Structure 1
């Protein structure tokens, strides 16, 4: 049997990870496989125990709702995953240990690299959501000197998250519905500033309620970034473009984090020169 990796979650049928990794495996001609595996919360510990004993298993990507629950079941955590407090990639080390990693940070930042190479007077990100993906995004943006406005249904949870991830930062929290209605707030001159609006929640995902965000809350020149991948073009992004803002969709982060994980699983870098073809396949 060829060696394999997989993505686990509950639900899992919507995951595009098998298509991404499968595309790269095909392009490279590897004797390998990447699967999707439904794993419930009750079965997560048994899953880890079983895969630890499987000589053909190279690791897994971890999606909702297991990014935090899997952490105490692993043998080691890389420093970034420990700092973020969430694991989205598990790799079997040479000694057989299960090592938790976080490639969401690298994946989220990848499409922003050209922007972040520029100098800015001020950087601010309005982030919607307080789950495992939000933890990685907050950690990523704090490192890039962003001031965070974190919105969630539970403002105490949001405040606790900011205090955990950047206790010395001057960040802010807001209730989720704060951004739902139109505002006439007069933003100052944002030239030379960098503003992001990030949906780090499942809102807008197929089968979930839409995210109520009125784009009058976004300063001029903001970029709308939605990590939802089903659908790829969410109403959040459609409304952003309608209001004149540039956008980044969830495939950018998904492909970026998958690329970082692929090297850990299969020992070679993915062929990123085929990204345009990969996108076409994922959106077909």
Structure 2
């Protein structure tokens, strides 16, 4: 696919709920900076039930899809091919639609998370903690497989979630230990803490942040900062937020969907920051 074309090319983010997604802001900023005037990027409210019909209606002008919850696993049966990265966590956040009609799934959350950490100088840690479970937590474990040299402790609610996280650890080659959410304050002393929980879930931990925390990666971006991130930063710790992850994974999406060799990371980040500042 040529990175610059006069033919209309379409892409979009799908999910539910979707109205607050920053993906259109980031992708449109990239298209403008790259001179892709015939490209458009929209958002659509799509559920697991309506996803098959939506995909079947796509015409040849479509180049790709970004997927958020609850579609990252629901899309898998609808694909023709899936990358090893996506298969490793059974989660797809990117679908590239080829000119011959094939649907190729990938996961840019994992390399995006790694790139965001490395941008902050976090190339290797001896241990880490993950707050929460689910698709984002499994992607965090996949990233930690390349960043963490020792054990990862996952703090979760209930034995089923604990078993799930241990299973992902075995599959991904990560030594995963599990602990009850009631003991989550212990996680805050780890060299790297990745919070994958919904808004408000970690607010109760803000008062427990130690005097000299290390690095927190909180995957939320709205509202921002979370209570935990604000307290962490006030205590002198290094904080990465959901925008860091969103921008780095979106860079990879733009490159895959358009064929450009390098998407404009700084332009995309600035566009996201401007929108969040106005919320």
Which TM-score band (shorter chain)?
A: 0.7 to 0.9
Match of 1:191 in 2: none
In the TM superposition, residue 171 of structure 1 has moved relative to its aligned partner by 2.1
Structure 1 residue 151, shift from structure 2 partner: 1.5
- Offset, 1:143: 2.2
TM-score of the superposed pair, with normalisation by structure 2: 0.86
Question: Aligned with 1:231: secondary structure?
Answer: coil
2:4 aligns with none
SS at match of 1:42: coil
Q: How does 1:119-138 map to 2 (within 5 A)?
A: 123-138=126-141
Distance in 1, Cα, partners of 2:251 & 2:92? 16
- How do residues 11-160 of structure 1 correspond to structure 2 at under 5 angstroms? 11-30=17-36, 31-51=38-58, 54-114=59-119, 115-117=121-123, 123-146=126-149, 147-160=151-164
User: What's the CA shift for 1:23?
Assistant: 0.9
**Alpha carbons of 1:107 and 1:169: their partners in 2 closer, same or farther (altered >3 Å)?**
closer
Shift of residue 199, structure 1, vs aligned partner = 1.0
Displacement of 1:219 after TM fit?
9.0
Structure 2, unaligned runs of 5 or more: 1-6
- Confirm or deny: 8 A CA contact 1:199 1:227 kept in the other structure: yes
- Taking the aligned partners of 1:267 and 1:238, their CA distance within structure 2 comes to 38
For these two proteins, the number of residue pairs brought into alignment is 265
Cα displacement (A) at 1:234: 1.3
TM-score computed with the length of structure 1 as normaliser = 0.84
Whole-Å separation in 2 of the counterparts to 1:199 and 1:169: 17
1:216-255 paired onto structure 2 within 5 Å? 216=208, 220-255=212-247
**Structure 1: runs of 5+ lacking an equivalent:** 188-193
Alpha-carbon RMSD: 2.4
Aligned to 2:198: 202
C-alpha offsets along residues 156-212 of structure 1, whole Å, 9 cap, x if unaligned? 3233233234355432111222225xx7x9x7xxxxxx81111112233xxxx5543
The answer as to whether partners of 1:262 and 1:270 remain within 8 angstroms in 2 is yes
Separation in structure 2 between the aligned mates of residue 77 and residue 219 of structure 1, nearest angstrom: 44
In structure 1, the partner of 2:182 is 177
Matched residue of 1:143: which SS?
Answer: helix
Q: Aligned to 1:212, what secondary structure does the other structure show?
A: helix
